[in-house]
A and B are shown apart, each in its own frame.
Chain A
């Protein structure tokens, strides 16, 4: 039996080329569609409860453990939160989070103001990118997860959101700072969160809130390494 040798034309190769290109674009497109999104840190309160909230009779829940939240005097908290951001110099304020060392830095220009240990996302990733504080709340509640991962945490103080409901706030339910422990927010000790809250600015009519950079690695201003930032 003789096979007829098939002579390939340029047109044939062009067809194969465009077919291959089409297949790769389809796969990349589908893969990108299923890319994890950074819409919410707290799946239950994310959309509905970004407001001031105090419940001094509630019992919290985290990692299957009941938590007794600290009592919060709402009037006092609001009074303290109305103080304008403390300023050391006239230079621009900037908050940097180094995920590799779990450390938060604050700067005015090139002058370092704070350096403290934090806990970033473990059960949900903290978004890497450049943001501005868009809301400050002296106290609120956060809830999310499901099953064994369900959590309900009222009376969280000194909250500052920088991307949707991803924000800086006190974590009274653990003391494991320097290690990942959150669902995407940046957990801080009460004393550190309160100091940060007093220093940082929320948005005003004319200006954005204090700049925030979440970095994979950071040494000093201008050296924020960001792998796959979301913006």
Chain B
């Protein structure tokens, strides 16, 4: 009975504080070992395609992951303050160059070849059009063949918007597999939204449980 009386509220309170502190520190420490599902960051500047400038034509290219193909972008500055973007694919050594797509834009817009442009099997690639904060992504068959009689390419951004997912297209980071483009989104309030797969042949949009 005497021992029980010694365990007063004061002692219990002190032990609880110490226990809670220990728990806090151990949870904090273990959290550092958990897999991080961080929001995808922008590709660092070093991922820029190789670039050659000849008079008013700028040529850049992006090699495929296996090093056998490259996507080429030629930008021609026009006298009327527009730029013409010519896209082509070729073998690694520049042989067998095949024109794919051409677009002329005013100076408020530009186009780029992303670092992860090629699908892992080199059958598809995508390019990006930038208009201020708005980005559009267009996917092509590397063979140069149109997807259908009416679709030379897929406007991934537009097709995604038509699905009314409740999230806004933010960025296509690369390919999750041979036919799946990874799309990151934002919610209406500007915060990070869900990630999606855009399936190139079928144009299906699949919401993911994992954020990329």
The residues of A with any CB-CB pair to B shorter than 8 Å are 6, 12, 15-16, 19-21, 23-25, 27-28, 31-32, 34-36, 62-63, 65, 67-68, 70, 101-103, 115, 117, 121-125, 172-181, 189-191, 227-228
Contact = CB atoms under 8 A, between A and B. Distances in A.
Nearest to A12: B6
B28 to A, nearest CB: 10
Contacts of B93: none
A25 B21 CA distance: 11
Contact of B65 (A19, A125, A190): A190
Nearest to B43: A178
B25 A175 contact: no
Q: Which of A65, A176, A180 has the most chain B CB atoms inside 10 A of its CB?
A: A176
Contacts of A62: 177
Contacts of B177: 62-63, 65, 67, 173-174
B95 interface: no
Interface string B1-35: 00001101001001100110111011101101111
A176 B177 CA distance: 9
A176 B176 contact: yes
A22 B18 CA distance: 10
Nearest to B175: A175
B44 A124 contact: no
Contacts of A16: 11, 14-15
Q: Which 4 A-B pairs have the closest CB atoms?
A: A31-B26, A176-B174, A191-B67, A24-B22
B44 A175 contact: no
7 contacts: A6-B5, A16-B15, A24-B22, A122-B210, A123-B35, A178-B47, A228-B33
A176 B182 contact: yes
Q: How large is the interface on B (under 10, 10 to 19, 20 to 34, 35 or more residues)?
A: 35 or more
Contact of B173 (A12, A35, A172, A176): A176
Contacts of B175: 174-176
A35 B41 CA distance: 28
Contact of A227 (B21, B32, B174, B210): B32
B193 interface: no
A18 B160 CA distance: 63
A3 to B, nearest CB: 11
Contact of A180 (B15, B30, B38, B66): B38
Contacts of A115: 46
B83 interface: no
Contact of A172 (B29, B34, B66, B210): B66
B17 to A, nearest CB: 8
A173 B120 contact: yes
A174 B96 CA distance: 25
B158 interface: no
Contacts of B29: 31, 35, 228
A28 B34 CA distance: 17
A121 to B, nearest CB: 6
Interface in B135-190: 173-178, 180, 182
Contact of B34 (A15, A65, A125): A125
Nearest to B210: A122
Contacts of A173: 120, 177-178
B73 interface: no
A191 B29 CA distance: 38
Contacts of B11: 16, 19
